[in-house]
Amino acid sequence: MPMPPLLDGAGRVALVTGAAGGIGGAAVALFQTCGARVAGFDRAAADGDLAVAGDATDEAQVEALVAQVIETFGRLDFVVHAVGAVGSGPLAGQSAQEWRRLVDLNLTSAFLLARGVHGALARSRGSLVLISSTNGRNGGTATSGAAYAVAKAGVANLVRYLAREWAPAGIRVNCISPGPVATPMLDRLTADEADTLRRSIPLGRYAGADEVAAAAGFLCSRHAASMTGACMNISGGLVLD
């Protein structure tokens, strides 16, 4: 008996935030390939059947985004939150303003989106996937900064909280915890820093954005129907479960 496709998106609707980024863009492409209609949200121009520009940390804009998706497509089944930004440097040099900016981008945006899509996902018994990071599991380093590590740890625990609270409504909430991913986010590193980071990964390579997107597709699929509250480790062995 042939295996069913990774994800059957026919008649389904996906929303991807951070859709202009490497992981977000790959998620948009994957959902479209699987037959879903896709809304992409980002400050920059994003792909999708519906492209919406906006700030994921702005409460009113997130609420308007969800309303626009429902008005346009009539439903919402899959949501992937891929908004994120790194910092750098030791905690002693971190300004309060930069701390708040990074926590808002990485964590508050996830809260706002989750709250905004709850009703729609309850109606479709849909799936929410949030992107955390190995930095949220191992404490991080000054390469990406304390605020990023703390916020990504918060994302993982938000997933655990929501998984339990939303299970009675049939909503599954899961998390992906990537290590270094070959996206423009790594362009901030010098050649020596990039080489050192790559050599620290047991498998000796960065993950591809398409690999992370495929994990999101799996978590949204019927193959993962019994998974909620999980955090998938895609780090090449940098973090071992």
Of the options 3.40.1410.10, 3.40.50.720, 3.30.300.180, 3.75.10.10, the CATH number for the domain spanning 13-233: 3.40.50.720
Residue 167's identity, in one-letter code, is A
- The residue-averaged pLDDT of 80-87 equals 96
Helix, coil or strand: residue 241: coil
Cβ neighbours, 10 Å, residue 128:
27
The catalytic residue among 148, 151, 176, 181 is 148
Each residue's pLDDT tens digit, 163-212: 999 999 999 999 999 999 988 888 888 888 888 999 999 999 999 999 99
CA angle 42, 231, 29 (to 5 degrees): 40
39 pLDDT tier (thresholds 50, 70, 90):
very high
Predicted confidence band at 4 (pLDDT cuts at 50, 70, 90)? low
Mean pLDDT of 11-24: 97
Instruction: Check whether 64 has a pLDDT greater than 60.
Output: yes
Which pLDDT value is given to residue 85? Answer: 94
Mark whether 148 is an active-site residue. Answer: yes
DSSP 48: S
pLDDT digits (tens, 9 = 90+) for 126-177: 999 999 999 999 999 888 999 999 999 999 999 999 999 999 999 999 999 9
Average pLDDT of span 104-111 = 98
* Domain boundaries, given as residue ranges, for the chain: 13-233
Under 8 Å between Cβ of 11 and 5: no
What pLDDT band is residue 2 in, cutting at 50, 70 and 90? low
With a cut of 60, say whether residue 90 has pLDDT above it. yes
Instruction: State the pLDDT at residue 111.
Output: 98
Count of C-beta atoms within a 10 Å radius of residue 211: 17
- DSSP codes, 121-174: HHHHT-EEEEE--THHHH---TTT-HHHHHHHHHHHHHHHHHHHHHGGGT-EEE
